[in-house]
């Protein structure tokens, strides 16, 4: 059988656009004598629709779209993903389903069994789990249909406090009893740089343990925070990856299940390159799918804004990026010069707005209220919020989306000003630790200097008071990032982190800063997720607690 893996980029709720892509791919596949085309999980609606699934008209449009797609499946078959109404008296309203389309109609429906409810996933909120297993018989082949998590009943755990067997049932075990010739998996598996290898390991283990080939079709593209990296694969019955599709872009592959041919894999990239590509895709899709074209940001001469500026240009083009340089009396000359050089290297428009007069005006008006009080972080925040006012003015006046430049290390410990440097419609680096921001800058400069060397090597500083350095109030990032990763991603306790060789008092101070600043992160812009545990809806912590 000739099967095509169709790795496409969908938009949530764009039934017309998604259907047009699917139907176009079916038509081109038919011209190449393909028998079956595979699409990803919830391909008709886009993944994940969240509470749009509670709207009756949304489900009706999904049903109509599946029916229209089925009409073109004559002389060819397809598997598409969409929600389906649960007709049983009990249970959730919907199933997360794969529809097998052939001879112009829906031939069979296969419901998802394992519904993830961890991290960014909340599928049991809307879907009823499957309890019945059957296969597709088509063109002399017996095909087992699974949906994403159905192959993930066993997972590596990120820490000791967790189970590797998450579910009480194994769909693969049930389907293997039906003697399929191969398994297909319709997936919407988001990218995370520190778990990317696990996905392949799970798929390889399943194919090898059951002696059944797996055709895994993943989604590509970004849906606000979530970034899907593609990387669809064919794995033979011995657990060897034979075919692999591209990462972070649409791709397709036709293979003959009886004559797979030679191995064809993608070139291996290191995790920094993958993070780079993921962030570029995340920015581009956020703008395109929201109907925006132009971005703006404050360019300070620091490493974070420099990296965001480069990513924005690569995602949107230099003609669609405009930056403001906003020096105060505390800004060093070299910071302004570094920012100017970067803007010129990128070919983007920049304007210099001196904020000191505005800051002085605020301080003058506040002086009677602050009489008898010494200067503190309040005055520093006035500077940050003044810059925020200028940036939002550009955003409002010209229809630009403000990109936030706060990195994960700073966000974790509250090293940012609400309604100031935390402003923005999208947090580009909110899931990237500071040391990885530096690595991104080196990657960007690999073919020649784009980001000025001085920006990379100078000590990081908010430049809100004389001779200020980040290390005045924070540990060195070499230590801080390790502490944060172990606390946030691995859920280790302060004592466990201290046992790694850190001063326990410093560790507890860092953990306290993380816990105390949940209220800030709650008000922050949506974050492009590139790790297994990003701030946002994948990490739900109480705002008020004494833990």
Catalytic residue numbers, as ranges: 41, 112, 148
Q: Which two tokens stand for residue 98?
A: 């794969």
CB 185 within 8 A of CB 146: yes
Q: Are strands 141-147 and 220-223 parallel, antiparallel or unpaired?
A: unpaired
Q: Which residues contact 117 (CB under 8 A, 6 or more apart)?
A: 123, 124, 125
- What do you get for the CA distance between the two ends of the chain, in Å? 58
Cis? peptide before 68, omega within 30° of 0: no
214, β-bridge pairs: 183, 235
In DSSP terms, 9 is beta-bridged to 220
Task: Write out the H or E segment, with its range, that includes residue 277.
Answer: helix 271-290
d(CA 127, CA 111): 10
Give 106's strand partners: 101
The 10 Å CB-count burial string (b at 16+, else e) for 174-202 is: bbbeeebbbbbbbbbbbbbbebbeebeeb
| CB contact at 8 A, 179 and 72 | no
CA–CA gap between residue 209 and residue 311 (Å, rounded): 42
Spatial separation of the C-alpha atoms in residues 172 and 179, rounded to whole Å: 11
Among the listed residues 140, 147, 116, 264, the one whose alpha carbon sits nearest the alpha carbon of residue 216: 147
Distances (CA, A) of 50 to 44, 83, 97, 127, 519: 14, 12, 15, 11, 23
> Is 82 in contact with 44 (CB distance < 8 Å)?
yes
Closest residue by Cα to residue 46 from 79, 5, 83: 83
């Amino acid at each position: 059988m000739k099967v095509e893996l169709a790795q496409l980029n969908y938009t949530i709720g764009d039934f017309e656009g998604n259907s047009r892509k699917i139907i176009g791919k079916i038509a081109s596949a038919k011209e190449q004598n393909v028998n079956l085309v595979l699409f990803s999980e919830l391909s008709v609606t886009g993944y994940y629709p969240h509470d749009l699934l509670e709207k009756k008209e949304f489900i009706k449009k999904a049903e109509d779209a599946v029916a229209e797609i089925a009409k073109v499946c004559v002389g060819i078959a397809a598997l598409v993903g969409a929600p389906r109404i649960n007709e049983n008296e009990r249970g959730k309203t919907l199933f997360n389903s794969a529809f097998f389309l052939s001879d112009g109609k829906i031939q069979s429906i296969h419901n998802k069994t394992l519904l993830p409810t961890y991290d960014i996933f909340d599928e049991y909120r809307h879907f009823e789990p499957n309890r019945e297993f059957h296969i597709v018989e088509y063109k002399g082949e017996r095909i087992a249909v699974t949906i994403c998590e159905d192959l993930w009943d066993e997972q590596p755990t990120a820490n000791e406090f967790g189970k590797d067997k998450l579910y009480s049932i194994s769909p693969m075990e049930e389907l293997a009893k039906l003697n399929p010739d191969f398994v297909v998996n319709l997936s919407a598996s988001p990218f995370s740089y520190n778990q990317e290898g696990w996905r392949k390991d799970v798929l390889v283990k399943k194919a090898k343990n059951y002696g059944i080939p797996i055709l895994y079709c993943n989604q590509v593209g970004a849906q606000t925070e979530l970034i899907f990296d593609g990387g669809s694969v064919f794995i033979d019955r011995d657990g060897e990856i034979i075919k692999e599709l591209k990462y972070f872009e649409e791709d397709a592959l036709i293979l003959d299940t009886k004559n797979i041919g030679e191995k064809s894999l993608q070139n291996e990239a290191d995790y920094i390159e993958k993070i780079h590509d993921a962030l570029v895709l995340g920015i581009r899709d956020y703008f395109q799918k929201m109907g925006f074209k132009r971005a703006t940001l404050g360019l300070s001469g620091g490493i974070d804004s420099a990296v965001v500026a480069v990513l924005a240009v690569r995602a949107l083009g230099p003609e669609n990026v405009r930056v403001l340089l906003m020096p105060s009396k505390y800004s060093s000359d070299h910071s302004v010069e570094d920012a100017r050089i970067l803007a010129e290297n990128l070919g983007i428009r920049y304007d210099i707005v001196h904020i000191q007069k505005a800051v002085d005006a605020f301080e003058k008006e506040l002086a009677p209220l602050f009489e008898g009080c010494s200067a503190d972080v309040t005055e520093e925040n006035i500077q940050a919020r003044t810059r925020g006012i200028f940036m939002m003015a550009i955003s409002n006046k010209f229809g630009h989306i403000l990109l936030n430049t706060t990195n994960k290390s700073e966000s974790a410990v509250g090293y940012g000003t609400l309604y100031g440097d935390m402003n923005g419609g999208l947090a580009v680096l909110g899931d990237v630790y500071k040391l990885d921001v530096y690595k991104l800058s080196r990657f960007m400069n690999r073919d020649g200097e784009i980001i000025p060397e001085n920006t990379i090597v100078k000590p990081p500083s908010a430049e809100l008071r004389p001779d200020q350095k980040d290390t005045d109030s924070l540990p060195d990032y070499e230590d801080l990032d390790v502490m944060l990763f172990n606390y946030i991603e691995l859920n280790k306790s302060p004592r466990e982190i201290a046992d790694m060789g850190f001063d326990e008092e410093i560790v507890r101070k860092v953990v306290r800063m993380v816990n105390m600043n949940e209220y800030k992160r709650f008000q922050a812009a949506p974050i492009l997720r590139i790790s297994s545990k990003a701030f946002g809806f994948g990490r739900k912590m109480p705002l008020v607690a004494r833990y």
